[in-house]
Structure 1
Amino acid sequence: MPSSFPFTISATDDSEQPFQLIAKFDTPDLAFYKSIFDKHSLSDCRVSLVDVAALVIEEHAPDLLDHLNFDEEGYWLDMYVDSEAAVQSFISKVCPIFQSIELLKPYVYRVAEERKI
């Protein structure tokens, strides 16, 4: 079974969004991710984790956008998902991008460049 790293999956009490995917990029085990986001952030504006995730999803699983609700606080990316099928699609199509810093960097760069405009 594919890994959900760097996201953890948990159940919620919400029948409409029964799953939560969360990545806490400010924890020591994900510090390298935080350093990539910081490196490409502007002094007055951090790279949006929601924008990075949405860009990856748009390119690899655009149908997922209708199944996710995003939240972001600091370096935490939090998503609520409406079905197990959407969770499995996220794990198989999106997580591999987040699991490879080299695959993720171009998305971070693109979001950072869009912020400069």
Structure 2
Amino acid sequence: MPIVFPFQIDPINPVHPAMPERRFCIQSPVGELEEYRNLFEDFGYSGNGPSWVEHISTMLEEADPDILEHLEFDEEGDTFVVYADSEAVVRRFLLLVQPVFGSTQLLKKYLSQTDPSDFFE
């Protein structure tokens, strides 16, 4: 699958026998996205992998809570990682998240509407 900024999607092949639900890996090297990290910091967040996990999982829970049953987030330091169980779930994820995270202007608008006290990271 292609890179859909700021995400890269890779099929997992062969599928690991102990983790058959991990069919696709969606990741972003958040530590390398200085403009994004600065934007998160401007609004009181770290902007690291766990920060992205928290914001993205919150967005998904509000927009399409059923999708969370098909995703497995992996807390990484400077990398955002989530595993999806199907290509359809990857498409749903991108439809909901990429429009906000694919543009610093839209991400800024989103972050301006959040309250850091509502988040752990």
TM, length-normalised to structure 1: 0.77
- RMSD (Å), alpha carbons: 2.4
**2:11 corresponds to which residue?**
11
**1:112 corresponds to which residue?**
116
Aligned CA distance change for structure 1 residues 55 and 107 (closer, same or farther; 3 Å): farther
Q: Distance in 2 between matches of 1:81 and 1:37?
A: 25
Unpaired runs of 5+ in structure 1? none
Aligned residue type for 1:50: V
Q: Distance in 2 between matches of 1:36 and 1:22?
A: 19
**2:68 corresponds to which residue?**
65
Give the conservation status (yes or no) of the 8 Å contact 1:3–1:91: no
Q: Distance in 2 between matches of 1:75 and 1:41?
A: 17
Query: Percent identity, aligned pairs only?
Result: 35
**1:74 corresponds to which residue?**
77
**2:97 corresponds to which residue?**
94
Q: How does 1:48-63 map to 2 (within 5 A)?
A: 48-63=51-66
2:29 is the counterpart of 1:24: yes
The total of aligned residue pairs comes to 110
Aligned CA distance change for structure 1 residues 111 and 52 (closer, same or farther; 3 Å): farther
Offset at 1:16?
1.6
Greater relative contact order, per chain length (Cα 8 Å cut-off, separation 6+):
1
Give the conservation status (yes or no) of the 8 Å contact 2:54–2:119: no
